[in-house]
Amino acid sequence: MMRVFTVIYLLVFANVLVAQTIAGKPCSISKEIIPTTIFHTMESVNSEDEIAANESQASGHSEKIMKYGKELKVDFDLLNSFEKVSLANGDVVYQLGIYCPNAVSINVVFDRFNLKMGSRLYLVGVKSNEYVGAYTSLNNSNANVLGTELVNDSKVIIELFEPKENIGTSILHLSSVIHGFRSLETLVKRSLNSSGICNIDVNCPQGKGFEKQRNAVAIMINSAGGFCTGTLMNTTAGPFKPYLLSAYHCGTNPASWIFRFRWESPEANADCGTSKPSVDGPKDMSINGATLVASYKTTDFILCELNSAPNPQWNVFYAGWDKSGTIPQKGIGIHHPIADIKKVSLDYKPLIAEAFNKGEPRNHWRTNWDQGITESGSSGSPLFDQNHRVVGQLHGGDSDCISKFLTDYYAKLSESWNGGGTSSTRLSDWLDPVDAQVDFIDGSSLSIYDPFIAFNATNLKNHLCTDSLVPYVLISNGGSDTLKTVKVKYSYDMDSLKQVSWNGKLALYEFDTLFLPAKKFSKGAHTFTVTILKDTNFLDAEETNNSISSSFHVLSYPRKYSLELQLDTEGDETVWYLTDSTNKTWYSGGPYVQTASKPTLIKEEFCLEANCYTFSIYDFAGDGMFVSDSVIGSYTLYDDSKKVVAELLPQNAKFGSTSSKNFCYTNGIENKGVENEFNVFPNPSNLDLLNVSSDNSEIKTLELYSIAGQLIASYVVNAKSYKMSITTLNAGIYYVKIFGSSSDVIMPFVRY
């Protein structure tokens, strides 16, 4: 069994394997803005002519790509073409209307796509009120391309939301609009209404024994308005790269394509070549975009790497293959005909080596189906042999339910193995990356041994109030295999490595705590590194992600502070920051969850060192923390003696966009000597002069030090008072060492 090691920092339980759209409504749907009434009208498309042309192309001895729409080229730099609306809080929303007369659906392709953090992109149907998105920075890829899902409407609005801190920084260039001329209600939602009645659902008895191979097959929506089928492929290094095999004639620019897995009727409701309609299957297992790694027109193959690996919870399979060229004793095809729910076709006889359309001799496998057929949309689908291994992908053929022709042609994987003789035109470099030089491998489920390690939020924080503690990490299992043992090594400040082991039993997403030996830290900055040790019993597919490191600071003379933040019911509008005199952020929080009735009380604890601080609270909507006379927000920030240092009273909740309070902490630094003999004022100070005085004894000399102990200046005084120039000092903490006639003392002050 092959397993993958992964280390993730900070309890991030979001699925990092899949880059999908996120929840949230467009502003035009939620009525935050008025939808645009300005639309760019695209060229007209004759749907009947397009359908007839596609069906003519797909009939007979031909390629089997299924066209659902026509690609219309455009050239829009959207940030310059959009209609721009500014929201009250400073955020902006852009809209661009697209109208395709008589279209049944619209989807679009961006050939330059890069969204900044916080930005959200939607495609919204004007009449249907349906939308796809939000697409966010999670959808950014190395190709900088994105193709959207389809919206069933002839008028759509492309809507971009940008937060005020990132206005105008996203990149969006629209290159194509796909005018849908076939109803996706028919193509995608109902099986029997699209493909021929002799097709057999993959979960019928005819598909028994190929349940794993079934899970490797995906329907593909390409940027030129076509449907095809593809297959996840295993490699000699293990199923750790999401390589997908399909047909060259389906296209060679998969950056904007959509790949949907596991779309199939359940076994209990499958249509096995009868007149019974198939029951719809799940449609939420999709990947956006891929990168082409190899292609070869002669054997009609493309191999691309998906932008993200399918979620292990989808239970996908990485198909095995046979490149020997040995004649398969039978053939099994799994595919999506007419963009339909997944089907199976069977040829129980030995396959025949033959040319396709007068091409190179004998570089295809010819089938003569005993059950089922293929149709437009099946192009690129896999042909499995009796050993459940892929031996080719569908190029084209004659088969259909009406004419009773049963012949199809699959380009041989054995011929594509060496392809055109280069890395970009053959399969060998990608499916055999370790140069095992084997003729075949079996498929594999993505069994994942996936421990991830996170520092607990109450342990190694950025700022520590104590110098002695018991560090611990959380061991969690993000993989489908039960986790039983983990060996880790750790170190502080790059000192000698220490090793510990965890043993137990964790199922998917369960976790346990691994306590490390107690440790006493010196004041100042430290680093902590923990690494999963390589286990020779398992293959580690991604060794670069086995280590994490954290920096933390043991504070000098720390003091604890507590925050009680009473939200209103619109917590999603509220964020706060605690910054010091240099504008460094020490702590922050929000936005929080919107609640329908009872407002939430947030409690936080901080650890601070001597300095001046600003507590700032922001409201995105610009109406403060006031909803009604009975729903009002407030906060109180107090130190460990319960002294209030900053607060927002309910009567001040209507603060608009922001409210800030300042406070200083200077009493935590230990003084040497009799402090009451001397005075340093004003403290904290933003003036040019600092006063040092004594009521009783004479000041002999003064020395000014940085917080790090570096001598900055010294003065001979011989008087009871002195005005020290501090105009050149940056904001921060400093010390004045006072040498008196009877005692010496060190006193802190804060410059802000």
Same domain, 529 and 606: no
Same domain, 365 and 437: yes
Task: Name which of 227, 261, 252 is nearest 67 in CA terms.
Answer: 227
Same domain, 201 and 221: yes
Same domain, 353 and 487: no
* Confidence class for position 325, pLDDT limits 50, 70, 90: very high
478 within domain boundaries? yes
Task: Name which of 240, 297, 290 is nearest 416 in CA terms.
Answer: 297
User: Is 50 exceeded by the pLDDT of residue 5?
Assistant: no
Which of 7-16, 19-28, 293-302 bottoms out in mean pLDDT, i.e. has the lowest?
A: 7-16
In tens, the pLDDT along 409-464 reads: 999 999 999 999 999 999 999 999 888 888 999 888 765 555 555 544 345 667 77
Question: Is 96 in a helix, a strand, or coil?
Answer: strand
133: left (phi over 0), alpha (psi -120 to 50) or beta: left
**pTM of this prediction?**
0.51
In tens, the pLDDT along 124-180 reads: 999 888 888 788 887 787 778 888 888 889 999 999 998 888 888 889 999 889 898
- 353 forms beta bridges with 365
User: Are β-strands 39-41 and 92-99 bridged in parallel, bridged antiparallel, or unpaired?
Assistant: parallel
Q: For all residues of the chain together, what is the average pLDDT?
A: 81
CA angle 65, 68, 70 (to 5 degrees): 100
18 within domain boundaries? no
545 within domain boundaries? yes
Query: What per-residue confidence (pLDDT) applies to 267?
Result: 82
Query: What per-residue confidence (pLDDT) applies to 192?
Result: 38
Query: What per-residue confidence (pLDDT) applies to 7?
Result: 29
Same domain, 438 and 462: no
* Confidence class for position 475, pLDDT limits 50, 70, 90: confident
CA distances from 501 to 490, 513, 533 (A): 11, 12, 10
Q: How close are the terminal C-alpha atoms of the chain, in Å?
A: 61
701 within domain boundaries? yes
Same domain, 399 and 431: yes
In tens, the pLDDT along 71-92 reads: 899 998 888 877 888 888 888 9
308 within domain boundaries? yes
1 within domain boundaries? no
Residue 79 one-letter amino acid: L
What is the pLDDT averaged over residues 616-636? 90
Residues in the chain, total: 752
Same domain, 440 and 455: no
Q: In the numeric block, which tokens belong to residue 630?
A: 């009975």
CATH of the domain at 659: 2.60.60
- Residue ending a domain, among 411, 445, 479, is 445
* Confidence class for position 748, pLDDT limits 50, 70, 90: confident
Same domain, 394 and 307: yes
Same domain, 329 and 343: yes
Q: In the numeric block, which tokens belong to residue 159?
A: 């809507």
Q: Which of 38-52, 113-127, 354-368, 539-553 has the highest mean pLDDT?
A: 113-127
* Confidence class for position 8, pLDDT limits 50, 70, 90: very low
Question: Is 80 in a helix, a strand, or coil?
Answer: helix
More confident residue, 151 or 732: 151
Active site residues: 249, 300, 379
User: Are β-strands 320-322 and 389-397 bridged in parallel, bridged antiparallel, or unpaired?
Assistant: parallel
28 within domain boundaries? no
CATH of the domain at 88: 2.60.120
Q: Where are the beta strands (DSSP E) in 523-589?
A: 524-532, 547-554, 559-566, 574-580, 585-589
In tens, the pLDDT along 291-324 reads: 899 999 999 999 999 988 887 778 889 999 999 9
Q: In the numeric block, which tokens belong to residue 643?
A: 């002294």
Same domain, 642 and 719: no
Same domain, 700 and 742: yes
Task: Name which of 174, 194, 175 is nearest 184 in CA terms.
Answer: 194
Query: What per-residue confidence (pLDDT) applies to 12?
Result: 23
User: Is 90 exceeded by the pLDDT of residue 733?
Assistant: no
- Residue 703: which domain range? 675-751
DSSP 319: B
In tens, the pLDDT along 575-610 reads: 999 988 777 888 888 888 778 777 889 999 888 887
- Residue ending a domain, among 445, 471, 488, is 445
Those residues with Cβ within 8 angstroms of residue 208's Cβ, 6 or more apart along the chain or in another chain = none
Query: What per-residue confidence (pLDDT) applies to 535?
Result: 65
Task: Name which of 338, 8, 40 is nearest 196 in CA terms.
Answer: 338
Query: What per-residue confidence (pLDDT) applies to 30?
Result: 78
Question: Is 291 in a helix, a strand, or coil?
Answer: strand
User: DSSP string spanning 171-236?
Assistant: EEEEEEEEEE-S-HHHHHH-STTTS-TT-EETTSGGGTT-HHHHTTEEEEE-TTSEEEEEEEE--T
Task: Name which of 485, 511, 510, 512 is nearest 500 in CA terms.
Answer: 485
Q: Where are the beta strands (DSSP E) in 449-546?
A: 451-455, 463-464, 468-469, 472-477, 483-492, 498-506, 511-515, 519-520, 524-532
Cα atoms in the 13 Å half-sphere on the side-chain side of 527: 8
Query: What per-residue confidence (pLDDT) applies to 116?
Result: 86
Where does residue 720 rank: exposed (0-12), middle (13-18), buried (19+ CB within 10 A)?
middle
Residue 106 one-letter amino acid: I
Number of domains in the chain: 5
Are 196 and 377 a contacting pair, CB within 8 Å? no
Residues 614-642 as b/e (b if ≥16 CB within 10 A, e otherwise) read bbbbbbbbebbbbbeeebbbbbebbbeee
In tens, the pLDDT along 647-679 reads: 999 999 999 989 999 887 765 443 433 445 788
How large a percentage of the chain has pLDDT more than 70? 84
User: Is 80 exceeded by the pLDDT of residue 237?
Assistant: no
CA distances from 417 to 428, 614, 617 (A): 5, 65, 61
Same domain, 661 and 707: no
- Residue ending a domain, among 156, 182, 208, is 182
Query: What per-residue confidence (pLDDT) applies to 1?
Result: 24
26 within domain boundaries? no
Those residues with Cβ within 8 angstroms of residue 507's Cβ, 6 or more apart along the chain or in another chain = 477, 482
